[in-house]
Structure 1
């Protein structure tokens, strides 16, 4: 019994060390920024493409912020994955029920450059027949002599 508890304590300490050192590196979808971040949102490394700097301060701020969010979400997801491997899926599910869904499960929406609106052809209006559950009602409303 004491040996099992000792193994659990060592596994817990190892997991804590692994999680404390965990980072994820993500490149922005437009390729102008790369960020390495911790699950806490600490920026460990930031690389900006010179083309981004030519777009102005606002663009730099938006791209860096989005990339930090993506890198942080990726690091948090990695921590959930490590925890699930170390503690088992059942414990990971319990942690998610307390902490909320993992980023990739709940909010993984990669930033993508805006698309130009496609030309839309005018759509013809179609009138749909009302959906009727009872066939007798359909027969009633199809009879024009009843509609006055």
Structure 2
């Protein structure tokens, strides 16, 4: 029993070390910013493309903020995934019930809105070819010896 408890303690300490060192790197969808962040929101690295700097302070602020949010969400999601692997799905679900949904489950809002395609008529639908009747299925399910 003591060995089991010791193993659990070591596994818990290892998980805590892995979670503390966890980071995620994300590039903004427009390719002008890359951020490495921790699940706590700490910015570990920030890379800006020179073309972003030419767009003005407001654009820089918006893109950096969005990219930091994406990187932090990715790091938090990675920590949820690591916990689920270490503790099992049941415990991960319990943690989510206390802490709230994981970022990728609770948000599905792309940063860059999708471009609306030009108004066009929907593609023409072709009629399906009818399926061939299969009388073997009925014979299989009507067999009383299979209903035990």
Following superposition, the deviation at residue 109 of structure 1 comes to 2.2
Q: Deviations over 1:26-63 (max 9, x none)?
A: 00000000000000000000000000000000000000
Note if 1:46 corresponds to 2:54: no
Aligned length: 121
- Residues 30, 113 of structure 1: 8 Å contact kept: no
Which structure has the bigger radius of gyration? 1
Q: State TM-score, norm by structure 2.
A: 0.77
- Residues 26, 67 of structure 1: 8 Å contact kept: yes
Unaligned runs of 5+ in 1: 122-148
Q: State TM-score, norm by structure 1.
A: 0.77
RMSD: 1.6
Q: Is the alpha carbon distance of 1:46 and 1:26 closer, same or farther for their aligned partners in structure 2, counting shifts above 3 Å? A: same
Q: Is the alpha carbon distance of 1:59 and 1:114 closer, same or farther for their aligned partners in structure 2, counting shifts above 3 Å? A: farther
Following superposition, the deviation at residue 114 of structure 1 comes to 5.9
Unaligned runs of 5+ in 2: 122-148
Work out the CA distance in 2 between the residues paired with 1:32 and 1:67.
Answer: 10
- Residues 24, 37 of structure 1: 8 Å contact kept: yes
Structure 1 residue runs of 4 or more that deviate by more than 2 Å after TM superposition: 113-121
Following superposition, the deviation at residue 107 of structure 1 comes to 1.0
